[in-house]
């Protein structure tokens, strides 16, 4: 009898562990099944996951003071693309103007657009703000190469008003582009998009080309073909990718929010030089999507006669999704592809 009691006592911890393990598995299964159902019933959740505008990293940055991020030749100001809608903008002047920029106000920065330096309009990706570290580092690189860099937070991002949408992001970009063109003489204006910003960039350039005023060049850093293919390839979708009905649960929810970012369609309506930069070890926007977009662009009739170039960065460099700015080859790449345009513009 005592031996039986001893064995039962020994079994109890094992049974308890097994019960806890089964309970954990049940909870995981419930959560796994619930997420697709919740997203299907509330497609607005999927829109938030695409934009991630509520993720503000770094959290404690004061966007009114770009000098806090080491950009002490940068001016912060606000524009209204629509009545009552304010968006935050940064203008970083070329590094050659650094000394002169100290202590200057907005009017001085505005006057510098008449200088003999090209301008890059930078369209950032999802999450974070115009003050994200990898973005700031790129501004510094571009400024050191003699470019004005103008960037902004779309409506719903950072300290900008409103709520995000593909149409709103594209409208904001078009407004800033037109605002810049009014201040530039003959100097080139390039459009640079990164990640989700590449979708905004191709939307913008398609609109500009449709109205007969294409930009001087388009730079796409870590681009994708369209948002459905990107969502299907994103690491977050890995656990659901082979679930029956994946498209219906997840991708159709994106489409229901009028989110397309169809760069693969847009490149068939674009008529300006295109430069694509992509790291082979990009874990957010897979390299094969950037390569696929390049193949589509290189066969586009609207781009025939324009330079379309794809620059891959080896996995050994570890640039991943947002560190291409670290490449020592970037100045030569930009010089080769953009300086000829700058010379023609000048």
Do the beta carbons of residue 39 and residue 253 sit within 8 Å? yes
Note if the bond before 58 is cis, omega within 30 degrees. Answer: yes
Q: Which member of 234, 278, 321, 337 is catalytic?
A: 321
252 is catalytic: no
- Going by DSSP bridges, is the β-strand pair 74-82/85-92 parallel, antiparallel, or unpaired? antiparallel
- What distance in Å separates the CA atoms of residue 196 and residue 87, rounded to the nearest whole number? 18
3-state secondary structure of 310: strand
Concerning whether 282 is annotated as a catalytic residue, the answer is yes
Distance CA 217, CA 287 (A): 22
Compute the distance between CA of residue 89 and CA of residue 160 in angstroms, rounded to an integer: 9
Q: 143, 160, 171, 195: which is the annotated catalytic residue?
A: 195
DSSP structure class, residue 129: -
Residue 321 a catalytic site member = yes
Catalytic residue among 282, 300, 337, 342: 282
How many Å apart are CA 152 and CA 178, to the nearest integer? 14
Catalytic residues: 195, 282, 321
């Amino acid at each position: 009898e005592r031996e039986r009691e001893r064995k039962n006592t020994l079994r109890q911890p094992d049974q308890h562990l097994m019960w806890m393990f089964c309970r954990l598995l049940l909870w995981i299964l419930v959560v796994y099944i619930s997420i697709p159902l919740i997203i299907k019933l509330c497609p607005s959740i999927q829109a938030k996951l695409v934009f991630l505008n509520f993720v503000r990293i770094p959290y404690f940055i004061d966007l009114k003071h770009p000098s806090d991020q080491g950009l002490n030749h940068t001016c912060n100001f606000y524009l209204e693309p629509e009545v009552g809608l304010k968006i935050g903008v940064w203008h970083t002047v070329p590094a050659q103007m650094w000394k002169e920029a100290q202590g200057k106000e907005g009017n001085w920065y505005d006057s510098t657009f008449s200088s003999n330096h090209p301008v890059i309009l930078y369209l950032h990706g999802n999450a974070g703000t115009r003050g994200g570290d990898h973005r700031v580092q790129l501004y510094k690189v571009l400024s050191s190469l003699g470019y004005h860099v103008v960037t902004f937070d779309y409506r719903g991002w950072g300290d900008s008003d409103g709520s995000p949408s593909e149409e709103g992001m594209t409208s904001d970009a078009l407004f800033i582009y037109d605002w810049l063109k009014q201040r530039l003489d003959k100097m080139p204006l390039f459009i640079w998009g990164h990640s989700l910003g590449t979708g905004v960039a191709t939307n913008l350039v398609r609109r500009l080309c449709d109205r007969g005023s294409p930009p001087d060049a388009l730079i796409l850093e870590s681009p994708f073909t369209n948002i459905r293919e990107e969502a299907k390839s994103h690491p977050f979708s890995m656990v659901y990718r082979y679930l029956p009905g994946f498209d219906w649960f997840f991708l159709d929810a994106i489409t229901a929010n009028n989110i397309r970012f169809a760069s693969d369609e847009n490149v068939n309506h674009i008529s300006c030089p295109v430069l694509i930069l992509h790291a082979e070890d990009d874990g957010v926007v897979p390299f094969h999507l950037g390569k696929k977009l390049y193949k589509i662009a290189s066969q586009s009739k609207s781009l025939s006669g324009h330079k379309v170039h794809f620059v891959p960065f080896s996995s050994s460099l570890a640039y991943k999704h947002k560190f291409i700015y670290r490449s020592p080859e970037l100045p030569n790449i930009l010089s080769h592809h953009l300086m000829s345009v700058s010379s023609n513009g000048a």
